Amino acid sequence: MLKESLLIVDDQADNIRILSAILTEKGYKVRKAINGKMAIDTIKFKPPDLILLDINMPEINGYEVCKILKVDLETQNIPIIFVSALDDVIDKVKAFQLGGLDYITKPFQKEEVIARVENQLTIRSQQKQLEAEIKQRQKTEERLKFYLHAVSHDLRNPVIGLSMIFKNILQQDQSLTISILRSVVERMENSCDRQIQLINSLVETQQHEIWGITLQCQALNLYLLAQEISIVWLPRLQEKQATLINNIPPDLPLVQADLSQIWRVYENLLANALKYNLSNLEITFNAEIIQNNLIDTPQMICCIVSDNGVGMTVEQAKTLFTPYNRGEGTQGNLSLGLGLYLCHQIIKAHGGTIEVITQPQQGTQFWFTLPVAN
């Protein structure tokens, strides 16, 4: 196992030779610099694991070298052991105040040099391990935060849909016996199934790297998918006095995609359109095949969700797909800002792209691409 890299900085060749011999014998990889400027250049080019730094050097002394290294984020954590013939307390205090971690007095004692170097390297190794553990913990906490927020965010759409079906049933004449059509019960069952699928999908996602989306792809008919979404969302569309038009050609080629995940994309785009616009909104689904004659490039279909609403500025559109990019809906309710980020991650996992075209008072058009099924 290779030992750490050490840099000896001293303008006296004999001092460098003695220290180098002591440390090389212990298996350390030793580099040398004969003045402060050379030391700074070599440290910035390839930082060592530890520096043995002489104080009395011409032009740039050891104190000045230490100051320069401690203000640079790239070098401030490299442990420095000052090496000097100066044995005065004031000199040692100044060395520690500038960021030196230890002090070796000339002439060198082999055992002392080795002990002090190994001690500082051990401490630095422990610090690195602690820093790595802290970063890992922060990463885990961030994943958990995304996971919990995504559950609350994406479960809202099917739950709201199911709730509105119940409300419509309860609004019937209370003097009459309520009868439920089989088609309504089927819609309720489908909504519950989607919730279960979504929960399973989110749990699977959490087992991978952050939003490493797991796909269960199959050949999908986008026209039929849009028709089913239109039926499920009808109560919410009616409540907002909005209209959903399915202009996807019935004979469009099938796409290779995960049904549950693509449903999430359409639902998030629909929910955003209703949230950020007033009543009497018109939303349109469309799709078309992208002409591509390149060899070894998969054929793609462009899916479009557009509305004639209030639109947004270019600046607002730039950050739409970033996590926790929050907007304010027409009723003042702040969102978590995860919906479009989730859409981006899902489409990316399918090998596609998602973008937005919009202008204030000119409506909004989201488009995303999906591969054609083989």
34, with CB counted inside 10 A (0-12, 13-18, 19+), is: middle
Per 3-state DSSP, the chain is made up of helix, strand and coil in percentages (nearest 5) of 45, 20, 35
Domain 5-108: what homologous superfamily?
Response regulator (3.40.50.2300)
327 vs 38, residue with greater confidence: 38
The predicted pLDDT at position 136 comes to: 83
Task: List C-alpha distances in Å: 322 to 16, 316, 327, 343, 344.
Answer: 53, 11, 12, 10, 9
192 vs 22, residue with greater confidence: 22
Lowest mean pLDDT among 26-35, 39-48, 66-75, 164-173: 164-173
Please, which pLDDT band fits residue 339 given cuts at 50, 70 and 90?
Answer: confident
Gap between the Cα atoms of 143 and 138, Å rounded = 9
Domain 140-371: what homologous superfamily?
Histidine kinase-like ATPase, C-terminal domain (3.30.565.10)
Question: pLDDT tens for residues 228-257?
Answer: 999 888 888 988 899 999 999 999 999 999
Please, which pLDDT band fits residue 185 given cuts at 50, 70 and 90?
Answer: low
Lowest mean pLDDT among 43-47, 108-112, 202-206, 260-264: 202-206
Q: What is the pTM assigned to this prediction?
A: 0.52
Token look-up 């971690």 returns 101
CB hemisphere CA count around 282 (13 angstroms): 5
Residue extent(s) of CATH 3.30.565.10 domains in the chain:
140-371
Mean pLDDT computed over 55-63: 91
Mean pLDDT computed over 327-338: 49
Task: List C-alpha distances in Å: 334 to 226, 241, 275, 276, 321.
Answer: 28, 22, 10, 10, 16
Residue extent(s) of CATH 3.40.50.2300 domains in the chain:
5-108
Gap between the Cα atoms of 70 and 52, Å rounded = 15
Please, which pLDDT band fits residue 189 given cuts at 50, 70 and 90?
Answer: low
DSSP 372: B
The predicted pLDDT at position 20 comes to: 93
The predicted pLDDT at position 334 comes to: 40
* Residues 98/134, Cβ–Cβ less than 8 Å: no
Helix (H, G, I), strand (E, B) or coil at 131: helix
The predicted pLDDT at position 250 comes to: 95
The predicted pLDDT at position 214 comes to: 72
Helix (H, G, I), strand (E, B) or coil at 160: helix
